[in-house]
Amino acid sequence: MTSPPKATAKSWLGLAVLVLPLLLITIDGTVLVLALPAISAELSPTGTEQLWMIDIYSLVLAGLLLAMATLGERFGRRRNLLIGAVLFALASVLGAVATSPWMLIGARALLGVGGAIMMPSTLSLVRNMFPDRHQRRYAMAVWGAMASVGAAAGPIVGGWVIETFSWQAAFLMNIPVMLVLLVLGPALLPESRNPDLRSIDLPSVALSFVGLIGLVYGIKALTGDKGIALGVAALVVGLIAIALFVRRQLALPTPLLEVRLFKVRYFRGAVITDVLSIFAMVGALVALVQFLQLVLGLSPLQASVWLLPQALLAATAAFIAATLVKRFLPAYVIVFGLLIAVTGFVLTVFLTPTSSPALIAASLSLVALGAGIGLTLSNDIIMSSVRPERAGQAAATSETAYEIGTTLGTAVLGGVLVAWYTRAVTAGSHAFDLTAGLAERVSSTMAEALLVAAEVGGDTGASILEVSQAAFTEAITVAGLAGAGVMLFAALWALVTLRGASAHQDLAAEHEHELEH
């Protein structure tokens, strides 16, 4: 059997260019959260408009990933990447000069379109640029490190940029990176496409978009304050569209997504491991960042300093995984990583309202390190389970899993956090002589409780602050234990479904065998 060709120096330089847009795409998912107060002061958005500013990016990105991956396979992955870079840069300019809430929402939507065009191309180009499995694992480690750093660095970058410059700078920082990609990309990145894909089924594109948008928005609505009826309706529409999409793919000679890939045990196991791991990891980030600001009273910039250790460990986790897998089976390394993350979640049991920020940093660092180890190898298994010409579909599936996991983490664990806080603070605040309106504000969110405590002042204000901080700390512990449970289940799932997967052989041949049987 002929060994696959080795990557050249040009390939490694191309990889360095390739991870730049990935870093920005993942940063943009969370960078705007800390900018909302400044944006609100300047543009005066309503509560609903604020939610759309945050949500529209991930909604559009998730909804278009599959369709844009197929466009890349049909017309060229490098071409798609460069087109996406142009759109991302233009949308960044639009966001920076936005003079109304809906202009900013439109810019965020266009950023989602640009991100959806670029993101599948980054991973599928890695698959094609590094045909040798060992070299590809290290290339995937670099890719995974940048994805993890981007997700972890969003609040850090946001805190620094907003306090140093302005919220507009959170958009303008995208432009130089996109220019570097447009200049160096054509010289360093090879073009690749799927020669078997002659046409794109437009009904499949529409069904995938409606299905993923409905699923993601439905989860957000059911766990937020958008109403149960709206959430259920969106979820039902999304699930029906996904069912029709799957049925159509099974009947098409050249489907938008080869859903039969999920018959492959390793592929299916790795994708679900990804969803569960990201679900827990993002939930931890959302909850513990709020603790730093709301309970410990740190500014966005101060909080971002305590997030630096987890960003650094997220970057190194991928390389630790690539080293360990030389001696141990991938399944065992993945389980080892996820159990490290479980330990990070368990540390939340020791939180008190006067805890040092170092305890939060330790908890987040262990979660980032463990999840990073697991995600690096699960992504390697996903991409190695398919032939190079199907890399775009595998990449889109992996990245859709990331978006769904992010949504679930924010919505479900965030919902647990809010629900438990409301229960705990309501139980502890009956002694306060507050009007119904003030009591409702105190029980709604920790942020509102801080405002009410400042408004009331005196001993009552101090008591409201003490009770709300204790309730929020208790809620953090409950959400942390829920995250530990999710991560532990992910470890057990990976052990069962990924055991036997080799780190030294390409799994695509086994993929073909399983599809035939």
Q: How far is CA 164 from CA 160, 205, 220, 271, 300, in A?
A: 6, 42, 32, 39, 11
d(CA 42, CA 45): 9
Q: Residue 336: pLDDT above 90?
A: yes
DSSP state of 350: G
Q: Are 334 and 273 in contact (CB under 8 A)?
A: yes
**What average pLDDT is seen over the chain?**
81
pLDDT for 56-88, tens place per residue?
887 788 778 778 877 887 788 899 999 999 999
Query: Can you read off the two tokens belonging to residue 447?
Result: 């942020």
Phi and psi at residue 501, to the nearest 5°: -65, 130
**Residue 389, both tokens:** 């010409």
Residues 366-387: pLDDT tens digits? 998 998 899 888 888 887 777 7
- Residue-level pLDDT at 279: 85
Out of 219-233, 408-422, 424-438, the most confident range is 408-422
**CB burial of residue 229 (10 Å; 0-12, 13-18, 19+):** exposed
Determine the 3-state secondary structure of 376 from DSSP: helix
CB-based contacts of 244: which residues, under 8 Å, 6+ apart?
A: 207, 211
For residues 4 and 277, the model is more confident at: 277
Residue 491 token pair:
């470890």
pTM of the model: 0.75
The percent of residues above 70 in pLDDT, for the chain, comes to 87
Res 181 pLDDT > 70:
yes
Mean pLDDT on 92-96: 93
Mean pLDDT of 333-342: 95
Query: Which residues, 6 or more positions from 73, have their beta carbon under 8 angstroms from its beta carbon?
Result: 124, 193, 194, 197, 389, 390, 392, 393
Kindly state the average pLDDT of the residues 147-163: 69
Instruction: In the chain, list all ranges with CATH 1.20.1250.20.
Output: 10-186, 260-517
In the prediction, which pLDDT does 130 show?
85
Class of domain 10-186: mainly alpha
One-letter amino acid for residue 374 of the chain: G
Q: What is the pLDDT of residue 33?
A: 65
142-156, 158-172, 197-211, 273-287: which has the minimum mean pLDDT?
142-156
| Measured distance CA(140)–CA(503) in Å, rounded | 13
Q: Please, which pLDDT band fits residue 1 given cuts at 50, 70 and 90? A: very low
pLDDT for the residue numbered 198: 64
240-289: pLDDT as tens digits = 999 999 899 888 887 777 787 788 888 889 999 988 998 888 777 778 87
Indicate if the pLDDT at residue 238 is higher than 80.
Answer: yes
pLDDT above 90 covers what percent of the chain?
A: 21
CATH 1.20.1250.20 assigned to 260-517? yes
- Please determine, for residue 225, whether its predicted confidence score (pLDDT) is greater than 60: no
CA-based nearest residue to 277, from 30, 493, 486 = 486
Q: Longest Cα pair distance anywhere in the chain, in angstroms?
A: 80
